[in-house]
Amino acid sequence: MKTLTKDHGLAVFARTNTEWDITANLTNGWEEVTTGAFVSKTYFDLAGLSMDDKTLFFEAAGVQDVLPPTCFNPNPGDSLILVNLMTSSPMTNTEIISFGIYGNFPGPANISFQETIYARVESYVIPQDTGPYTGMTLQSSNQLGSLEPTASDRVYSYKAILFGTPFGGTRVDLTASRHLLRAKASEEPDHEYMMRLLRSYQLQQEPDVD
């Protein structure tokens, strides 16, 4: 049994009027998709397992965080959505952002239940009684995913933040987080492995930008 990890770095987002930007020296791999929506992308490299003709069976998955998002000069009702996502299929930036609304149900996120190894979608808000500097309050946390085994040479790891509108706060700090997969590599009967390998290959036939 192995524990696989991938980190998503700390980021600081600053708002001017309706525009959001990442503080230049704290991007840590984050990029803007559209106004008020940012993503961080990486992947687990499983090439060594696929070369040995082994399938990766997942026992558990999760996310480790340091602190909730912290908002400066907030207004009551300021809100955002955090998405943590691990998939067997690559996703575009737009699809990752769409997951925060549509999940892995039919829609523009274009990802199925089987392809979603693990996902956690959280909603944070500034409550009515707050000060000028505060950690945001978790409003809801929902998990989606299948822990479906894969014969792919990659598992994709994504994190996204979507700011609500209107938003009065002038800055949001997002601490680093860690994606974890607890998995075991095992050999399958040839027929089952070949079918899983074919399915993994089909899922890979999407734009894959490192």
Strand (E) positions, 17-170? 19-22, 30-34, 37-45, 55-65, 70-72, 79-87, 116-125, 133-135, 137-144, 154-163
Q: pTM of the prediction? A: 0.87
Nearest to 44 by CA among 26, 32, 33, 58: 58
Tell me, what's the pLDDT at 210? 45
Position with higher pLDDT, 207 vs 97? 97
Q: Report the chain's mean pLDDT, rounded to a whole number.
A: 87
Domain residue limits, the chain = 2-204
- Split at pLDDT 50, 70, 90, the class of 158 is very high
Tokens describing residue 184: 């075991």
Asked if residue 176 has pLDDT above 50, the reply is yes
Cα–Cα dist 186/188, whole Å = 7
Q: Residue 7 pLDDT > 90, yes or no?
A: yes
